[in-house]
Amino acid sequence: MGEDTVDYCPVHACHASWAEEQATILAHRGQLQPALAQACPADSEALHYLATINEQPAGYLSISLDGSLAEGITRSDHASDTAEALLRQAVLDTPRRGLSRLVAPASHPWRDSLLQLGFAAAENRDSLLCLLLPPDRSNNASGSELVRLDQVDQFRAFSVQLVQQAARSLVIFSDDLEAWLYDHDDFTSTVMQLAQKSRNSNIRIIVRDTRALLERGHRLLRACHRASDKIHLHKLPVNQSEKLPCFMIVDDNGLILRPDSQVMQGIGYTDYRARARPLLEQFEQYWTRSYIDPDLRMHTI
């Protein structure tokens, strides 16, 4: 499991990667709560933390991509120590995953531990406890500042900036290749420049729903037809009611992330490999399940 761990005698806590340690996570939490022995869709997007006492499962914590504390369970013995060890590990680790804050309901069963670690009532939300996190400064990240995005012009300008800085690759994971963000001349022309920059240029796009592309057309769809050897558009067969974050990554470091695809709020980094890499791994998993939609291939330009 993860190299960085917290020892809070007698508890040992660490981060566990879903991509690499899925079976371990399921077995661990299943011993604590049998109902959690099976995977659920949110697992692939969550951060997972395991606690042991004498190498036996003692606790489990998961945190969603928006920083919300999701599942949190402990054994009855050393319950408060276990909760505190898991939370301390999460506070140390989550900035490396790109989170700027952690939040939990004010009624959370670990409330006492949360308060001890500095959680406080969120601004204008008495029902939430919030802890603001410092940006990560580890060797895995450049330390570029987080950019908060919540307006169309901000998203568009930052997306163009990222593609302009790209040396070789661009990936986009999106519900329907949102027109407000991606369907404009500046972005499309910048993507085409990237496609022509090098013979090694690689642009891959995954969408969950192609209906808007078929009904209204899209500048990037036309670009896919013009540069089909460099720009690849796939569809992911998933339940449309399942909430997945949308993201764009250039090379292995520049990132735009929208945790909730239905909300025009997100974060961006010009250079943050530690946050981009887990999403790139997730994109690769999605890519193996995705396919070329024949309707899009035959779509008239």
pLDDT cut 90: percent of the chain above it: 51
10-23 pLDDT, tens per residue? 899 999 998 889 99
- Tell me the pLDDT of the chain averaged across its residues: 86
pTM: 0.56
Place of tokens 């692939």: 44
Helix (H) or strand (E) holding 166: none
Residue 300: predicted pLDDT: 44
CA distance 12 to 52: 5
CA distance 137 to 220: 36
71-96 pLDDT, tens per residue? 999 998 889 999 999 999 999 889 88
Query: Which pLDDT band holds residue 9 (cuts at 50, 70, 90)?
Result: low
278-291 pLDDT, tens per residue? 888 889 989 998 99
pLDDT cut 70: percent of the chain above it: 90
Rounded to 10 degrees, the C-alpha dihedral 231/236/240/244 comes to -80
User: Structural domains in the chain?
Assistant: 5-97 (3.40.630.30), 147-297 (3.30.870.10)
CA distance 236 to 247: 15
Helix (H) or strand (E) holding 160: helix 152-165
Name 181's Cβ contacts closer than 8 Å, sequence gap at least 6: 152, 155, 156, 159, 187
- The strand pairing partners of 73, in sequence order, are 60
> For 130-134, 206-210, 249-253, 296-300, which range has the lowest pLDDT when averaged over its residues?
296-300
211-235 pLDDT, tens per residue? 888 878 788 888 887 877 888 999 9
| Section 112-131 average pLDDT | 86
For the cut 50, the answer to whether the pLDDT of residue 140 exceeds it is no
Residue 234: predicted pLDDT: 93
3-state secondary structure of 59: strand
Query: Which pLDDT band holds residue 136 (cuts at 50, 70, 90)?
Result: low
Name 169's Cβ contacts closer than 8 Å, sequence gap at least 6: 201, 202, 203, 204, 250, 251, 252
For the cut 50, the answer to whether the pLDDT of residue 272 exceeds it is yes
